[in-house]
Structure 1
Amino acid sequence: MSTMLFLSKVLCCFIIYWLTYHLNNTRKLGGVTASASVALVIGIIYQICIEKNLHLYFFKDYFLIMMGATFMGMIAKLHEHKKLDFIISSFIFCALFQHVSTFFIGFGGLLGTIACISILCVFGLERILKQIK
């Protein structure tokens, strides 16, 4: 996979992640409502693409990444996110999605599991860095 293609997926993940987080915390919609609202819009766009016979084999990963990013945006306000947290989580999510998603086939909850692992990695990195300081 080319670097630009991967970075475009990370950017897409970052935007949806931030949007869901913003709706959840700043607009006070709550995690489930924010995620469902963004996912509904993504689903409608996906259906329009199907009806227009667009090349979904290329965009399918983008839609899946966007849906997974809504799960990451559901995190509670207990942890104030910094911009770097969004970026690192987006990189981790996309890397895991690209390289480990075939491992989770048949388990169910692929996107939620990868989103959880991505967020936990960032939380863990923050704790390790605090202990080093």
Structure 2
Amino acid sequence: MIRFFLIFLISILGQNCSLYLQRYAHFSAVLASAAPSLGLALFLFLWPYPLDDFWLEELPLIFFGASFAGMSQGHRLPNLPSQLVSALIFAALFFAQSQFFKGYGGALGTSACIAVLGSMALQELYAYGKKKWNP
């Protein structure tokens, strides 16, 4: 349970770093994803104390993959609840399928895409239900 909580927190951090840099600092989407990921990698590389495998191997994967979801345009994840749902979906996918994430590749981007699409679908269902039940 603690492991999932850490994955969720790292996912939120990676996604929101990318979102912030893209929307408010006006970085390009790719730079908004790459800059914080590089910063995290350098921080972990230069950390003077020995770290567990989770911190050295999985944390950068989670952060980098979640930053892909943060590359979304503003209307895809317009508010904090949709961003949190997207990060939660990504964390759940990573937690459930972590044996398939052996390296940086298509699996992280696909998981981020599924997370954003899932969040968008839940937004649409919420809006439809609100419209249907509150005429």
Q: Above 0.5 in TM-score?
A: yes
1:35 is aligned to: 33
2:16 is aligned to: 18
What TM-score, normalized to structure 1?
0.83
Which of the numbers 51, 64, 72 marks the counterpart of 2:69? 72
The alpha-carbon distance between structure 1 residues 83 and 110, as it changes in their structure 2 partners (threshold 3 A), is same
Residue 99 (1) aligns with residue 110 (2)? no
Q: Which amino acid aligns with 1:87?
A: L
User: Which whole-Å deviations, capped at 9, do the CAs of 1:69-127 have from their partners, x for residues lacking one?
Assistant: 11111111233521111211111111101112445779x41111111100100001111
Contact preservation (8 Å) 1:13, 1:90:
yes
The structure 1 segments of at least 4 consecutive aligned residues displaced by more than 3 Å after TM superposition are 101-106
* Secondary structure of the structure 2 residue equivalent to 1:111: helix
Unaligned 5+ segments in structure 2 are 131-135
Unaligned 5+ segments in structure 1 are none
Aligned pair count reads: 128
Q: Distance in 2 between matches of 1:9 and 1:104?
A: 14
The two structures, once aligned, show a CA RMSD in angstroms of 2.1
1:110 is aligned to: 107
Q: Distance in 2 between matches of 1:127 and 1:21?
A: 21
What TM-score, normalized to structure 2?
0.82
